[in-house]
C-alpha cells in the first residue's frame, strides 16, 4: 500500500483533524491507541479556549467531561517545540490531565521534552505517529503510539462529573488535598487541585510539595525552578538524607507509595532546609 502524508492526503492540519472528528471509526482507532476507555464519546474539532485559542480535538464523554486533549503537528510532519509545549496549556485550560500529540515523526530532543513532562508534571502525554495509506476509498489513517506516559496505568482512571455536574480534577485528589491542607495545622502554605506545598522554606527559594500521581504513588518535591540547578552542595547534601532522590534542573524529588510516607518525607525535607542540613 502507498503511504501518504498529512499534506498529500488532506492538504493541512485542520482538514486532517476535522476528518478524525467526522469519522467515528477513525476516532475510535485513535482512542484505542492511547488506552482510552471512553465508550460513549464526542470529538469536537477546533474547540476554543477562553482566550480564543483553538484546540485541535477535544474528546468528551456522555457527561460532557473532557477525557482527552489532542494536538496535531501541522503539515510539515515533524513535531516541533511549539506544538509539543502548547498542549500542556490546552490540558490546563480544559482541566484534563490526558493529552495526545499526533505527528508523522519527531527527533530525540522533542521526545526528551515529552518524556520530561510525563515524569515531572501531573500531565500524561501520549506521542502518537499518524500512518496514512492511500486506498481506492480514500485515505486510511492509523495510529501507532511511540511514547506512553511514565508508569503506564494497569487500569485507566476515567474523569467523571462530580455531584454538582462539574468535572473533577481528573485524578480525584482535589478533595483529598483540600482536606489534608486543612488538617496540616499550617504545615502547608499553599494548595491546588494538584498538590499541597510549603513555599520558600526558610527563605531558601525552595518549595517542598506533595503531588499525588494517577498511578498510585506520591512525588515529594524540593522545587527550586532552576535557582539551584548548578548547586552541587544542594544535590549532594539532599542525596545524603534521601538516597532514593532524583534530581533535574528544576528540582529534587522522592517517590513514595502512601500519604503517610509522603507527609513524613515532606516534614523531613522542610526541617532539613530550615536546619541547613540540606545546603542551598
**CB 141 within 8 Å of CB 154:** no
Helix-strand-coil split of the chain, %, nearest 5: 30, 30, 40
Residue 119: CB atoms within 10 Å:
14
pLDDT in tens, 186-232: 999 998 777 899 999 999 989 999 988 766 789 898 988 777 777 88
Maximum Cα–Cα distance for the chain, whole Å? Answer: 72
Average pLDDT over residues 40-47: 87
C-alpha to C-alpha distance for 219 and 212, rounded to whole angstroms:
6
Lowest mean pLDDT among 13-27, 46-60, 174-188, 205-219: 205-219
Average pLDDT over residues 39-61: 87
pLDDT given for residue 212 in this prediction = 85
**CB 49 within 8 Å of CB 69:** no
Exposed/middle/buried for 182, CB within 10 Å: 0-12, 13-18, 19+? Answer: exposed
Q: Which residues have CB under 8 Å from 208's CB, separation 6+?
A: 197, 198, 201, 220, 221, 222, 223, 266, 269, 270, 273
Average pLDDT over residues 72-86: 83
Q: Go through the domains of the chain in sequence order and give each one's CATH number.
A: 2-147 (3.10.640), 174-274 (3.30.1460)
Distances in whole angstroms, Cα of residue 185 to Cα of each of 176, 179, 225: 15, 11, 26
Name the residue with higher pLDDT: 228 or 108.
108
- pLDDT at residue 156 tops 50: no
- pLDDT at residue 20 tops 50: yes
Q: Which residues have CB under 8 Å from 255's CB, separation 6+?
A: 217, 218, 219, 220, 244
State residue 55 phi and psi, 5-degree precision. Answer: -80, 130
Lowest mean pLDDT among 13-22, 45-54, 64-73, 74-83: 74-83
C-alpha to C-alpha distance for 239 and 262, rounded to whole angstroms:
17
C-alpha to C-alpha distance for 208 and 229, rounded to whole angstroms:
16
**CB 38 within 8 Å of CB 2:** no
- Where does the pLDDT of residue 165 fall: very low under 50, low under 70, confident under 90, or very high at 90 and above? very low
C-alpha to C-alpha distance for 148 and 274, rounded to whole angstroms:
38
Amino acid at each position: 500500500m502507498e503511504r501518504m502524508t498529512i499534506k498529500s492526503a488532506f492538504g493541512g492540519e485542520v482538514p486532517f483533524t476535522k476528518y478524525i472528528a467526522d469519522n467515528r471509526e477513525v476516532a475510535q482507532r485513535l482512542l484505542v491507541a492511547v488506552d482510552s476507555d471512553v465508550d460513549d464519546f464526542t470529538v469536537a474539532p477546533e474547540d476554543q479556549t477562553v482566550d480564543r485559542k483553538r484546540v485541535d480535538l477535544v474528546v468528551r464523554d456522555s457527561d460532557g467531561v473532557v477525557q482527552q486533549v489532542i494536538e496535531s503537528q501541522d503539515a510539515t510532519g515533524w513535531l516541533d517545540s511549539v506544538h509539543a509545549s502548547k498542549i500542556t496549556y490546552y490540558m490546563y485550560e480544559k482541566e484534563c490531565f490526558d493529552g495526545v500529540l499526533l505527528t508523522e515523526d519527531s527527533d530525540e530532543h522533542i521526545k526528551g521534552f515529552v518524556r520530561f513532562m510525563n515524569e515531572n508534571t501531573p500531565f500524561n502525554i501520549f506521542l502518537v505517529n499518524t500512518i496514512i495509506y492511500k486506498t481506492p476509498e480514500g485515505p486510511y489513517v492509523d495510529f501507532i503510539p511511540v511514547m506512553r506516559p511514565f508508569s503506564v496505568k494497569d487500569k485507566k482512571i476515567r474523569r467523571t462529573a462530580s455531584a454538582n455536574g462539574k468535572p473533577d480534577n481528573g485524578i480525584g485528589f482535589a478533595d483529598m488535598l483540600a482536606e489534608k491542607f486543612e488538617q496540616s495545622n499550617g504545615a502547608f502554605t499553599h494548595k491546588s487541585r494538584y498538590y499541597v506545598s510549603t513555599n520558600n522554606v526558610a527563605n531558601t527559594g525552595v518549595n517542598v510539595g506533595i503531588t499525588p500521581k494517577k498511578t498510585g504513588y506520591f512525588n515529594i518535591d524540593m522545587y527550586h525552578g532552576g535557582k539551584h540547578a548548578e548547586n552541587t552542595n544542594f544535590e549532594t547534601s539532599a542525596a545524603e538524607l534521601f538516597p532514593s532522590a532524583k534530581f533535574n534542573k528544576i528540582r529534587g524529588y522522592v517517590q513514595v507509595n502512601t500519604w503517610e510516607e509522603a507527609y513524613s518525607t515532606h516534614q523531613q525535607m522542610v526541617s532539613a532546609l530550615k536546619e541547613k542540613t540540606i545546603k542551598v
